[in-house]
Structure 1
Amino acid sequence: MSSNLKKLEKSVATIELNIPKEKFEEGLNYSYKKNVGKFNIPGFRRGKAPRIIVERYYGEGVLYEDAIEHVFPDAYQEALDSFKIEPVDSPNIDIIQIGKGKDLIIEAVVPVLPDVELGQYKGIEVKKVEYNVKDEDVTNRLEQMREKNARVIPVEDRAAQMGDIVDISFEGFIDGVPFEGGKSDNYSLELGSKTFIPGFEEQIVGHNVNDEFDVNVKFPEDYRVENLKGKDAVFKVKLNSIKYKELPELNDDFAKDVSEFDTLDELKDSIKKEIQEQYNKNAENEMKDNAVKTVVENAKVEIPEVMIDRQIDISLRDLDYNLRYQGLNLDKYLEITGKSKDDLRKEMHDDAALRVKTQLVIDKIGKNENIEATDEEVENRISEMAKNYNISVEDLKKELNENQINNIKEDIVYFKTIDFIFDNSKIISKEE
C-alpha cells in the first residue's frame, strides 16, 4: 500500500491512499463471504451462489461497501503513522478509482491536530497579586461560626418579625388560577433573607402563629419563569410556626466551645492565619492564570472548528449536569431563558475556542520541555482520588483502564507545565 500527502493546510490534511488491486480483491472476497447469505438468486439456494454469479446478478458494486470498510482502516492508519499526523475527527473519504482488477484509490480529508507556533513562554512578566486579611474578614468568619452554633427557640407570645425563621404553607394564584410551582407545605423561610419575590417576606411580618392571610406580590419583569414575568399574584398563606435564633456571645467560653483554643484572641489569630493562607493560594492561582493567558496570547494556532464544537459539547454536558443539581435541566434552562441550543452554542464559541487553544499551547510547551508524570505522582493522584471517593486504592486501581491512567498522566503534565510557566515568570510589583 502507498499513500501521498497531497495537501496540509489550515489543520486539514488531504491524503491519497493507493490500495493495490490484490489487497482490494481480499476485501471483495471478505465482503462476499460476509453477505452471501443475503443474496437470493434463482437456481441457487440462499447463500450458495458463487461470487461471480452474485456480481453478474446484482452488479459488481454490491460488494464494494464492505470491501472498502475492510481494507481502508489499515491503509489509513499506515498513512497517519507515515506522515506523523494526529487526526482530531473521522475522515471524509472520496473514491477516486474502484473496480475489479484495479487498484483502489481513496482520497481522505481529515482535520488534524494543529501545529502550535509558540511565542515567549519563559521570563514573561506577571503582575504581583496580593490579598490581605481585613478585620471584617475575621468578623464575618466569627459571625458564621455564631450562626452555625446558634440556638433556635420557638416563639409563642408575639408576631413574626424580620430575622425570624417561619414555617409556612402557601399556594399562589394568578387571576384566581393556581400556577405550577406556586404551592408548598411546611416551607422554612428566614424573613429578611430575600429568598422570595420582593415584598413577600415583608407581608408575613406582624402575623401570629396559625394566622391565614393573603400576600399580594408582582413577579419581576426579569423573573426566570417566562409565563410569570411581570404578573400580579396572590398567595394564600398559613403561618405554622415562628422561631428565632439566639446567637452565642463572642467570648473566651465561645472560643473553647467551638475550637481547641482557650481564648477568643487565640481563635481570631487562627482564623486570620487560615484566611491569609487561602488568600495567598488565591493570589498565586490568579497570577498563574494571568501567566497562562499571556503565554496563550503569544502563541499562534489555527484551530479546526471540529475541536471547538467538541469543547462546546463538553461545556453543554457540564452545564446540564450542574443544572440537575438545582432541580433543572438544559431543556428547562433554555425554556426559562428563551434561548435555543444554537443560541447557546454561539455564546459558548469564543470561550470554547480559547479553552482549546490553551490546551494545545500548554501541551506543546510540555513536550518542548520534556515534562512528564512520574510513577510517584501518578500513585499520589490515584491515592487522592481514592480518598475523595472513599474507596481503597487497590479497588480504584482495579477499575482504572489504560485510557483513564493516561488521562491522569495528562492532567499531571498539564498542571506541572502551568507551574513551569509560572516558576519561570518574572513577578513584578505595581511600582515596577
Structure 2
Amino acid sequence: MNVRIEEVSSISKKLHFEVAAERVDQEIERAFRKIGKTAKIKGFRPGKIPQSVLEQYYGGQMEQEVLGRLINDTYFKALDEHAIPAVGEPRIVDSSGVMRGQAFTYQAEIEVKPAVTVKDYAGIVLQKEKFELDPKVIDGRLQELQTSRAQLDVSSREQAQSGDSVVIDFEGFVDGQPFDGGKAEDFTLELGSGALIPGFEEQVAGMTRGEAKDVQVVFPEDYGQKTLAGKPAVFRVVLKEIKEKVVPALDDDLAKGFGVETLAELREQLESSFVAQERNRIDNDLRERLVRELIARNPFEVPAAMTAKQLEYMYANISNRMRSQGLAPEMLGLNPQTFAERYRETAVNQVRGTLLLEAVGKQEGITVEAGEVDGRLEEIARMANAPLEMVQKYYAGEEAREGLMVQIAEEKVVRFLLDKALVTEVPRAALEEGQASS
C-alpha cells in the first residue's frame, strides 16, 4: 500500500491510496471463495460452481466486498501509521474499481482534529462577580417550598381563572390540518404561567367545566418549528377540570415536612444550599469568561464533524431534561435541525474551548494521577449517596473513565490559568452593565 497525504487546510486532508495488484488479486480470490460456499445457481452443485460462472452472476457482490475490505483495511492502517487524528467519516472519491492484475486507487477526503498551540494565556484580565447574600432571596426560596406543598383541590367554581390549574384535552390545526406535537390529553396547565403559545392561556381562562372551545392563536415569528412560525392556528380545547391551590402556613409544621424540626433550621439549610449554588454559578461564569478570552486570543477553524457531534450531545441533554419534566421538545418547536440552526455557534465555541484547554494542559504538562481519579470517585459516591463499589464499576468502562479524566484535567487547567490571571471582583450589577455595553 502506498499513501500520499495532501494537506488541504488546517482541518482537512486528502489521502491518495494505491493498493498493489497482487493484493487486489488476493482479495478477489478471497471474495469468490466466500461467495462460492453459499451461491446457488441452477445446474451447479453448491461449492462446485466455476469462478467464471460466479463472476457472471455475482461480480457486483464480489466488487463491493473487495472494495469494502481494501478501503477499510488501508484507510485505518494509514491513520494509525501516520498518526492522523481523523474526525467523522471519510468521503471516498475517485475510486478506480477493482480488476484482476491492476492496482486499486482511491482518495479519501477527511476532516482532522486541529493542531492547537495556545498563545497569550498568562495574565488574562478578568472580572468575577462578587458574592453578596440577599436575605430576600432566601425568603423567596421559603415561599417556593411553601407553594410546592400546596394541594390542588377541585374548585367549586365552574369558571376557570388565572392562577387555576386546569386539566384539558387539546388538538391543534394549521390550515385545517393537525400537526406533530399539537395534541395532548389530560394536560395540566397553570393559567398565567406562560407555558404555551401567547394568547392560549388567556382564552382558556373564562371557560367553564366541560366546555369545548376553539382557541385561535398565531405562532410567534421566531417559533422554533419553522413550518409553524408566524402561522395562525386553531386549538380545539375541552376543559375537563378546574383546580385551585391551597397553600399551607409557613411554620414549623411545614419545616418538618422537609426533614427538619423548625422553620429557622429550614431557612439555614436553604441559605447554605443557596450559597453553594451561587458560588458554583459564579465560578462557572468566570470559567466561561476565561474560555471566551482564550478563544478571542487564539482563533482557529473547527471541523464540521466535531461541531455536529457537540450539537447532538447538547440536543440529547436538553431533550432528556424536557422529557423528565413531561414536555416534548416538539411542543416548543425544537427538533435536531432547528436546534442546530440556533445553537451552531455555541457548539463551535464549546469545541474550541475544549481543544484550547486540552492544548494548554499539554503545553504545561498538566496530567491526571490515578489518586485524583480515585478521590473523584469517592466524591461522586458521597454526593450521590451511592455505594463506592457501584460508582467504581460504572467508571471502570473505558469511555466513562476517559470522560472523567478529561473533566478533571480541564478543571486543573482552569485553576492553573486562573492562578495566572488578573481577577477583579465586582458587584453583579456592574458586571451586567459591562456585558450590556460590550
- Superposition TM-score tier, normalisation by shorter sequence: 0.7 to 0.9
Cα contact 2:152–2:245 (8 A) shared by 1 = yes
Report deviation, 1:348: 2.6
Superposed CA deviations along residues 372-392 of structure 1, whole A, max 9, x for unmatched, are 222122223334455566653
Residue 397 of structure 2 is matched in structure 1 by 401
What one-letter code is carried by the residue in structure 1 that aligns with 2:70? V
Contact kept in structure 1, 2:204 and 2:215, CA below 8 Å: no
Aligned in 2, Cα 1:75/1:193: closer, same or farther, shift over 3 Å? closer
SS of residue paired to 2:86:
coil
1:353 Cα offset (Å): 1.7
What SS does structure 1 have at the residue aligned with 2:85? coil
After TM superposition, the structure 1 stretch with the greater mean CA deviation from structure 2, 223-232 or 266-275, is 223-232
Amino acid at match of 1:292: V
**CA 1:237/1:298 → structure 2, altered by over 3 Å: closer, same or farther?**
same
Are residue 245 (structure 1) and residue 247 (structure 2) matched? yes
SS in structure 2 at match of 1:132: coil
Partner of 2:435: none
TM-score (norm 1): 0.72
Partner of 1:14: 14
Q: Who is 2:414 aligned against? A: 418
Indicate the SS of the match to 1:197: helix
> How far apart in 2 are the matches of 1:390 and 1:256?
22
| TM-score, normalising length: structure 2 | 0.72
| Greater displacement, 271-280 / 25-34 | 271-280
Please state if 1:121 is matched with 2:117.
no
Who is 1:380 aligned against? 375
SS in 2 for 1:381: helix
Q: Secondary structure at the match of 1:301?
A: coil
Q: Is the 8 A contact 2:217 2:232 kept in 1?
A: yes
Q: How does 1:27-426 map to 2 (within 5 A)?
A: 27-39=27-39, 44-51=44-51, 53-54=52-53, 57=56, 63-93=62-92, 94-96=94-96, 98-144=98-144, 197-198=201-202, 221=218, 244-248=246-250, 275-330=274-329, 332-333=330-331, 337=333, 342-386=337-381, 391-399=386-394, 400-426=396-422
2: distance between equivalents of 1:360 and 1:350? 15
Say if 1:132 and 1:162 are closer, same or farther in 2 by CA, change over 3 A. farther
The one-letter code sitting in structure 2 at the alignment partner of 1:427 is V
Cα deviation for residue 34 of structure 1 reads: 1.5
State how far apart, in whole Å, the 2-side matches of 1:59 and 1:170 are: 61
Q: Against the structure 1 CA distance between its residues 58 and 130, is the aligned structure 2 distance closer, same or farther, given a 3 Å change threshold?
A: same
Following TM superposition, by how much is the alpha carbon of 1:79 offset from its aligned partner in structure 2, in angstroms?
Answer: 1.8
Equivalent position amino acid for 1:197 in 2: E
Q: Could you tell me which residue of structure 1 aligns to residue 433 of structure 2? A: none
Amino acid in structure 2 at the alignment position of 1:114: P
Distance in 2 between residues matched to 1:73 and 1:213, nearest whole Å: 64
Read off the aligned partner of 2:78 and give its amino acid letter.
Answer: A
Contact 2:13/2:111 (<8 A) preserved? yes
Deviations 1:72-116 (A, max 9, x none): 333323322332211102222232474322333332222111222
For 2:60 and 2:254, the matched residues in 1 are separated by 86
Specify the structure having the higher radius of gyration (Cα). 1
Q: Quick one: structure 1 residues 419 and 34, their matched pair in 2 at CA, closer, same or farther if it must change by over 3 Å?
A: farther
- Output the CA distance in 2 between the equivalents of 1:270 and 1:133: 14
2-side partners of 1:148 and 1:133: how far apart? 23
CA–CA separation in structure 1 for the residues paired with 2:15 and 2:73: 14
Which deviations, in whole Å up to 9, do the C-alpha atoms of 1:332-374 show, x marking residues without a partner?
Answer: 33xx63x775444322322222222222222222222222222
Deviations along 1:139-166, one digit per CA (max 9) or x if unpaired, are: 324444555688999999x999999988
Segments of 5+ residues of structure 2 without an aligned counterpart are 173-177, 431-438
Work out the CA distance in 2 between the residues paired with 1:147 and 1:420: 44
Matches of 2:184 and 2:151, distance apart in 1 = 31
CA contact (8 A) 1:172 1:183 kept: yes
Please tell me whether the aligned partners of residues 146 and 248 of structure 2 are also in contact (alpha carbons under 8 angstroms).
no
Q: Secondary structure at the match of 2:341?
A: helix
**CA distance in structure 2 between the aligned counterparts of 1:269 and 1:214, rounded to whole angstroms:** 47
Provide closer, same or farther for how the CA distance between residues 424 and 83 of structure 1 changes in structure 2, counting only shifts above 3 A.
Answer: same
Structure 1 equivalent of residue 436 of structure 2: none
What CA distance in whole angstroms lies between the structure 2 residues aligned with 1:291 and 1:412? Answer: 17
Structure 1 residues 191 and 246: alpha-carbon distance in aligned structure 2, compared to 1, 3 A threshold:
farther
- Paired residue secondary structure (1:139): helix
How far has the Cα of 1:67 moved from its partner? Answer: 2.4
Two-structure CA RMSD over aligned residues (Å): 4.7
* Gapped regions of structure 1 (runs ≥ 5): 205-210
Q: CA deviation at 1:279?
A: 2.9
- Count matched residues: 407
Q: Deviation digits for residues 239-264 of structure 1, max 9, x if unmatched?
A: 6x877435245xx9999998879895
Aligned counterparts of 1:107 and 1:123: Cα–Cα separation in 2:
46
Amino acid at match of 2:126: V
